Copies of this chain bind each other. A is one copy, B any other.
Amino acid sequence: MVGRIIKPVKGTRDFYPKQQAWQNWLYQKAKTASRAFGYQEYEGPILEPFSLYEAKSSEEIVNKQAFVIPGKGEAQKRLVLRPELTPTLARMVAAKEYELVFPIRWWSWGRFFRYEAPQKGRGREFYQWNIDLLGQNCPNADAEIIAVGVRFLSSLGLTSADVVIKINDRKYLDNKFDLIGISQSKRLAVFRIIDKKDKVKKADFEAMLAEAGLTKLQIKDLNLALKDYDYSQESPWLTELFSSLSDLGISDWAEFDPTIVRGFDYYTDTVFEAQTRNRQDRALFGGGRYQNLVSDVGGKRKITGVGLAVGDMTVYEVLADLERLPALSALSAKILMTVFAEETFRSSLLAADNLRKSGIKLEMYLDYQVPLTKQLAYANKKGFTKALIIGPEEKATQEVTVKDLVSGQQERVKAKDLAAFLKN
């Protein structure tokens, strides 16, 4: 078959070593922040039953953006490529609800899928860091999750001058709904509309509310409620949460915002979103507290949780915009063992093997028909720092020539001292 090169699927990414080095860097940052607070790593399946997302999650994500695989065999159940992790977490916790020692602190790094139109900062396949604390129903737990998020952002080189974490409480809004007289049956719809508030015009926002059954007066009152930035008399929960953030020394990152509700239906209390201060249309992370998710997937115990999720693509875009992407090397080894000629090939191979056994990472040139100058050019082109040469002379004296590819200088080292020499 000769033809055009087969293209990747739109919205997917190829991670060449350079891109993979970035992914690994980001994973390490998430790992370090998670482990500092004692969180344990876990992971779920990528394939989940469709029913897992039907109960709660997000209507838009499940019905419009899920990759659905037709069922096969016995039950013919539809499968979904997971669009998010929290329902999986709830399912896993419910399955061992009488075994696990609570509170549990878990984090995960994995791949997720949404069948939406690819755009800057959004793909059909992406990585997400998820971190959750379950079995502790207090604002201090919410504050800890936010503190882990802040520690992560700081480790990326971001400061509170770059990022703001906007915090709200759905229960606080629920109380407002009580006052305004919005009935329980309309609240899910109203939350979903508030979540879109920043993306639509004021008139459209109000038209959507009217369509959801709100009266003109209710819409007016709701607009006022969404502009009321003083929660202190009404929400002891938020008061304690902000006090805890202050104790943790991260008040300057955090700010109350009554219009934040987040898109997932399972959030019941605290909800929050990290936004860049210069462009608030992009969430670096989002999260919140869910009271009922474990029982929604069949759990018998009342286990509440709080967590956040960070997508890799947004982080990349934000650091790129701010010109703070790290300079990373994608090389595993920076030393090349060259091969002088067929007669010395075995000596070079053995020397390379011995170095590896001493913990030195190195690449071996395998084709002895290629002239040494070409091998050195290859090492330079790849960005290697040293080349090792064993010619007939070195072989005879049990030495190795070490060529520094940066300075161009070279020296002979006794074979038995080579590992120690290279480690310095």
B-contacting residues of A (Cβ < 8 Å)? 1-9, 12-17, 20-21, 23-24, 34-49, 51-52, 55, 67-70, 72, 77, 79, 81, 88, 91-92, 94-96, 101, 103, 105-106, 111, 113, 115, 124-125, 136, 138, 140-141, 144, 147, 151, 244, 247-249, 295-299, 330-333, 335, 345-346, 349-350, 353, 356, 361-364, 366-367, 378, 381-382
Contact = CB atoms under 8 A, between A and B. Distances in A.
Given A9-B45, A141-B366, A247-B350, 14 more contacts: A1-B55, A1-B296, A3-B298, A6-B49, A13-B45, A14-B95, A21-B41, A36-B361, A36-B362, A37-B363, A101-B378, A103-B366, A140-B366, A147-B353
A98 to B, nearest CB: 11
A296 B353 CA distance: 35
| Leading 4 A-B pairs by shortest Cβ distance | A38-B363, A12-B45, A5-B298, A38-B333
B20 A43 contact: yes
Query: How many identical chains are in the complex?
Result: 2
A47 B381 CA distance: 33
25 contacts: A1-B296, A5-B297, A8-B45, A8-B91, A9-B77, A12-B48, A15-B43, A16-B42, A16-B92, A17-B42, A21-B41, A23-B43, A34-B332, A37-B333, A37-B361, A37-B364, A40-B331, A46-B125, A47-B113, A67-B69, A105-B363, A140-B345, A140-B366, A141-B366, A248-B349
Contacts of A55: 1
A52 B6 contact: yes
A382 B101 contact: yes
Contacts of A350: 247
Given A125-B45, A138-B366, A38 B5 contact: no
Contact of A297 (B6, B24, B362): B6
Given A2-B295, A125-B45, A39 B332 contact: yes
Nearest to A295: B2
Contacts of A363: 37-38, 105
A350 B143 CA distance: 13
Contacts of A141: 366
Contacts of A23: 43
A92 B19 CA distance: 13
A14 B95 CA distance: 10
A6 B293 CA distance: 12
A96 B101 CA distance: 50
A247 B14 contact: no
A362 B95 contact: no
A96 B16 contact: yes
A330 B332 CA distance: 27
A70 to B, nearest CB: 7
B138 A6 contact: no
Contacts of A330: 40
A136 B42 contact: no
Given A138-B367, A144-B364, A248 B353 contact: yes
Contact of A46 (B17, B77, B111): B111
Contacts of A335: 38
Nearest to A151: B356
Contacts of A247: 346, 349-350
Given A9-B48, A14-B95, A144-B364, A20 B37 contact: no
A379 to B, nearest CB: 10
Most buried by B among A13, A88, A140, A346: A140
Given A69-B67, A138-B367, A17 B106 contact: yes
A138 B1 CA distance: 24
